[in-house]
Amino acid sequence: MSAAMWMLHITVALHVLSVADTAALAAVQLTGAIPALLLMPIAGLAADKFPVRSLALSGVSVQILAVVGLAISAAQGSLTALALCFALQGTAMALWPPSRQQWLYGVIDGDLRQKANAAIGSLNGAMTIVGAVGAGVVSIWSPVIAIVAVACLLALGLLQLLRVSAPEPVAERPTEPKRIGAHLRGFAADLRAGFGATRRFPLAQSVIWIGIAWGFIGGGYTVMINGHVIEDLNGGSIAVAVVFCCDGLAVLVATVFAGRLPRSAHLPVWGLCYVVQGLGWASFFLAPNLIATIACIVVMRFASGFIIALDTTILLETVPGEFRGRVTSVHLTTYNAMARLSLAALGSALAAVSLVWLGVAAGLLSSAFGIVWWLLAGRRSRSTYMRAPTLDPESVRA
């Protein structure tokens, strides 16, 4: 599924840039993502309350239908229809992260969570390479064929999910049937409780806040990479594929190392990597040629790999099981909301400022946020984080 998502995003970007410009690509991605933002908090609550296997299967099935619609839209040359199908695919995709995380934490021991989260990061890095190669090579032939290949990959993922079982959700099910009104009131109360949980656990809250910051700074990541490589460096689909392959390889290597980090190093390394990530991102736009640009993206994404591998572990380590799905969704919702706002701002800003200077400013802001996070939250939370596995959930609340 990860390979399918990377291949889809890169293929859509290449297709839109072939018929329009960077601002149009930002508009398509913005339109495609807004409905997913509305569903994410509800998806997190659903992962806490309902069988995660059913949620995952439903989400992937709808994604397959949406991607088929994307292929038809691309074949007909309609960017409006493309954006609408993209919206449907993203909305269905919103069910996957909280369902996967609740599923994962339900079947592994607590002391294996760091390695499991790092393994997911490694897999995502590897699939970035697969998706980039697939999108870059197949798109030379036909973007429509590349999108059809995405649908086939999702179908393979669906077949795999059908073969495995999942644990029951954390929350207990009611023993007596409720009326619809009672269900809705209970659902709303649980949703409020999920948002409230983010305020009661300061370390999780700090991860959400820095995620919001990076979402605004890096929300246009794929758009900016595609735009810079194609428009500023005069590269083509192969050049884009090479950049994303190096991106994925750097993440893959970093997540392997991150999975072996001692617990005491998690928070300082995580904060430092935000600083390095930002400097690498700024350098990416200042590099004089494609080779130097690739070197900068490798440095940046190596730092990103540590962030990706440790992010979920740090976010959920002090959060009790009954809130993990909702806290995960709050994190993803706020991040993606700011990312979409970033896309909207990017489309407007490109009319006045060059893409290069927007990228430089974004990178320097990322570095600044990493420093601020460490000073205000990271170093103050080290003691609680180190003791979290042995503490009662109430004792780690603010």
For residue 83, give every residue at least 6 positions away whose Cβ sits within 8 Å of its Cβ, in sequence order, or none: 27, 28, 31, 32
Mean pLDDT of the chain: 78
Rounded to a whole number of angstroms, the distance between the first and last alpha carbons of the chain is 37
Whether the per-residue pLDDT at 340 is higher than 80: the answer is no
Beta strand spans in the chain (E): none
Which residue ranges make up each domain of the chain? 2-165+197-390
Whether the per-residue pLDDT at 130 is higher than 80: the answer is no
pLDDT attached to residue 270? 93
pLDDT attached to residue 300? 94
pLDDT tens digits, 375-387: 998 888 888 888 7
Burial of residue 174 (number of CB atoms within 10 Å: 0-12, 13-18, 19+): exposed
> Between 329 and 136, whose confidence is greater?
329
**Residue 389 structure tokens:** 């596995």
Are 331 and 31 a contacting pair, CB within 8 Å?
A: no
pLDDT tens digits, 17-37: 777 777 777 778 777 777 776
pLDDT attached to residue 174? 44
pLDDT attached to residue 366? 85
Could you give the CA distance from residue 121 to residue 251 in angstroms, rounded to a whole number?
A: 7
Could you give the CA distance from residue 290 to residue 297 in angstroms, rounded to a whole number?
A: 10
Whether the per-residue pLDDT at 194 is higher than 70: the answer is no
pLDDT tens digits, 265-280: 999 999 999 999 999 9
Residues found in the chain: 398
Could you give the CA distance from residue 171 to residue 63 in angstroms, rounded to a whole number?
A: 27
Whether the per-residue pLDDT at 187 is higher than 60: the answer is no
Whether the per-residue pLDDT at 362 is higher than 60: the answer is yes
| DSSP reduced 3-state for 77 | coil
Residue 299: count other Cβ atoms within 10 Å of its Cβ: 17
Written as one letter, the residue type at 237 is S
Average the pLDDT over 302-306 and give the result: 92
**Residue 191 structure tokens:** 């949703």
CA-wise closest residue to 232 among 17, 33, 5, 74: 17
**Residue 385 structure tokens:** 């984080």
Could you give the CA distance from residue 379 to residue 388 in angstroms, rounded to a whole number?
A: 15
pLDDT tens digits, 77-119: 888 898 889 888 988 888 877 777 777 777 776 667 667 777 7
CA-wise closest residue to 273 among 214, 225, 359, 229: 214
Q: Which CATH class is domain 2-165+197-390?
A: mainly alpha
| Per-residue exposure over 51-87, b if at least 16 CB sit within 10 Å of its own CB, e if not | bbbebbbebbebbbebbbbbbbbbeeeebeebbbbbb
> Between 189 and 1, whose confidence is greater?
1
Which band of pLDDT confidence, cut at 50, 70 and 90, is reported for residue 176? Answer: very low
Could you give the CA distance from residue 220 to residue 226 in angstroms, rounded to a whole number?
A: 10
Which band of pLDDT confidence, cut at 50, 70 and 90, is reported for residue 291? Answer: very high
- Return the residue matching tokens 């570095």: 367
Written as one letter, the residue type at 126 is A
- Return the residue matching tokens 């995709």: 93
> Between 244 and 265, whose confidence is greater?
265
> Between 275 and 3, whose confidence is greater?
275
Average the pLDDT over 142-148 and give the result: 84
> Between 324 and 121, whose confidence is greater?
324
Which band of pLDDT confidence, cut at 50, 70 and 90, is reported for residue 295? Answer: very high
**Residue 43 structure tokens:** 């998806």
